[in-house]
Amino acid sequence: MDLPRMLDKCRRDQWSVDDLDWSRPPPALPRDKEEAVVQYFTDMAGIERLAGALFATQAKQERDPTLRAIFDSFVVDEERHAVVAERLARYYDVHRYRRYDMSEALVKFRPHFLRVVELMPPEIATAYITAGELMLDVALLRSLDDYVGDEMSHAAMHLINRDESRHIAIDFHMTEVYASDEFLAERRRRPRRPLADRAAGWRALAVMLFHAQPFLKGVFLEPMDRTDPSGKRILEAFKRMQLLARKPTVARLPFTRFMLRMQEAFNHPVLGPLFGGLILRLLGGEARAARTLFTQEDLARTQRMSFEELAEEALAVKTAN
């Protein structure tokens, strides 16, 4: 990836919340839909601020000044997205039926996810960040926008999706970097982290995975069940994660190997029925994410693709009907 060119794009494509026309009247929505939409945008603000905090942590850890500046720009993006989501929640909250708070599962999940990014090796943190961005960008935002079906939402989501495309491109780039021979060789030359620090990281990961299931269900899957009953978009996001994890350089990483073995066990005709619930708890996931979603043709094709091409294909899915 041409990082200076990406940084220039990050700076050039900034926009303001007030660039949107907030004067247009909101549509009339049935009560159950109005309440659902306002709650989804309330949670979206929390998701975006969580993403911003994750990028801020990555910026602090990054030694390359260009990448650090890119991550800093992403922090600005995510705060802007959160403000837009809050304003959209107020915009569609026409009847003030009730008070809206962030999902409890999101509130509980947030500090543990941040702790993992701070303490765990970067390839593990990046894997979870990339998964979250794919679920948000490929599935949730598109489906929520279609569900609202209003010009105000369309205009906001158009600008937000433009920013999120840059984020996913960098997520795939960082996945490639952290799985590269050069990065792994450099890490082997560094002094090993103290045992206490490593133990703290694994403890943070275990706690995060404990909270991941209710977070995934309450913030992504249940809203998606309503906004995209076909389930096609969330399955597409899950499939992109599975194919990315099977790129040879990524699949050789110890944590990825463990996760792939767990997924294979879940799909095993004997082990799956016996230990499926435990496996899902260890994965911090849900059955739809653990099932094998790609064909052998998909796998063979994506194995030949570069990480940049994989990112471009994932982004193309957003605009496909």
Q: What is the tens place of the pLDDT at every residue in 261-275?
A: 999 999 999 999 989
Low-confidence ranges of the chain (pLDDT < 50): none
d(CA 160, CA 52): 13
What pLDDT sits at residue 192? 85
Domain extent, residue 36, equals: 3-319
Q: Among 190, 55, 22, 194, which residue's Cα sits nearest to residue 132? A: 55
d(CA 108, CA 98): 22
Locus of tokens 């992109």? 240
Domains in the chain: how many in total?
A: 1
Cβ burial of 303 (10 Å; 0-12, 13-18, 19+) is exposed
Q: Among 58, 297, 71, 290, which residue's Cα sits nearest to residue 169? A: 71
Angle at 110 between CA 192 and CA 17, to 5 degrees: 115
Cβ burial of 152 (10 Å; 0-12, 13-18, 19+) is buried
User: The domain that contains 134 carries what CATH number?
Assistant: 1.10.620
Q: pLDDT tens digits, residue range 147-198?
A: 999 999 999 999 999 999 999 999 999 999 999 999 999 988 888 888 898 8
Type of residue at 45: A
For the record, the structure tokens of 253 come out as 């990483």
What pLDDT sits at residue 321? 52
DSSP 218: I
Question: Quick one: how far is CA 87 from the chain centroid?
Answer: 22
